[in-house]
């Protein structure tokens, strides 16, 4: 498998964690988002959405969108499972993952932030306030929904943890206070002890700057 990735991309970070948890070998192909390499014709031919992550399977199929990729990996490589067996618990885990991947992350992604700066003329202070607002709003909901023991929903790592850890890293990068979120901080610390999470960290990637 070949993973098109960028060391700072939260969505690519999620996918690296999932691949590592499954114990799957994969080749990384860096795509530098800040330099606009995702818009190069060669990459557009691989992923018409021109976003990361993109996973090319050994049989030639290409998958896009991190949650779709993670669920594919869980379907095809079911051990260890990334979603609970119980349908209600699966819904809770997916909801937590979606709070991060669908509510927090898209508003703080490089495209919207560039639009705020270049098109709407917002300065760094305003952009950072925007980032902090949406992370804090999402984390406030997650803090109430999670049931750490020691992971987001019990003793098994799930897709909720896979999404949460990169978002915590982003919060720390932008200096968003986490004092009001002890459950989130505790889950992040528990995950940090696992090699699958450690190896996926942005600063451990070949393209880290």
Which pair of structure tokens corresponds to residue 192?
């940090």
Which pair of structure tokens corresponds to residue 182?
């002890």
Determine the pLDDT at residue 144.
98
What domains can you pick out in the chain, each with its CATH number?
Answer: 2-80 (3.40.30.10), 87-196 (1.20.1050.10)
CB of 176 within 8 A of CB of 182?
Answer: no
pTM of the model: 0.96
The rounded distance, in Å, linking the Cα atoms of 103 and 136 is: 11
The rounded distance, in Å, linking the Cα atoms of 6 and 34 is: 10
At 105-122, the pLDDT tens digits run 999 988 899 999 999 999
CB of 190 within 8 A of CB of 155?
Answer: no
What average pLDDT does the chain have? Answer: 97
Instruction: Say yes or no to pLDDT of 65 above 90.
Output: yes
| β-pairing verdict for 62-64 and 27-30 | unpaired
Using pLDDT thresholds of 50, 70 and 90, give the confidence band for residue 4: very high
Q: % helix / strand / coil in the chain, to the nearest 5?
A: 55, 10, 35
């Amino acid at each position: 498998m070949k993973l098109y990735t960028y060391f700072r991309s939260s969505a690519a970070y999620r996918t690296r964690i999932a691949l590592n948890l499954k114990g799957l070998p994969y080749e990384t192909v860096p795509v530098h988002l800040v330099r606009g390499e995702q818009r190069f014709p060669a990459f557009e031919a691989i992923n018409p959405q021109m976003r990361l992550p993109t996973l090319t399977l050994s049989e030639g199929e290409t998958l896009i969108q991190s949650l779709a990729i993670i669920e594919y990996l869980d379907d095809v490589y079911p051990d260890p499972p990334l979603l609970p067996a119980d349908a209600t618990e699966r819904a809770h885990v997916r909801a937590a993952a979606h709070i991060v991947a669908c509510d927090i992350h898209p508003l703080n992604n490089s495209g919207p932030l560039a639009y705020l700066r270049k098109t709407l003329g917002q300065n760094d202070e305003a952009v950072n306030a925007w980032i902090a607002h949406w992370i804090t709003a999402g984390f406030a909901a997650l803090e109430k929904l999670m049931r750490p023991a020691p992971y987001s929903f019990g003793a098994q790592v799930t897709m909720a943890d896979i999404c949460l850890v990169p978002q915590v890293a982003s919060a720390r990068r932008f200096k968003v206070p986490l004092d009001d979120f002890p459950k989130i901080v505790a889950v992040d610390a528990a995950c940090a002890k696992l090699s699958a999470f450690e190896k996926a960290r942005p600063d451990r990637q070949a393209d880290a700057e």
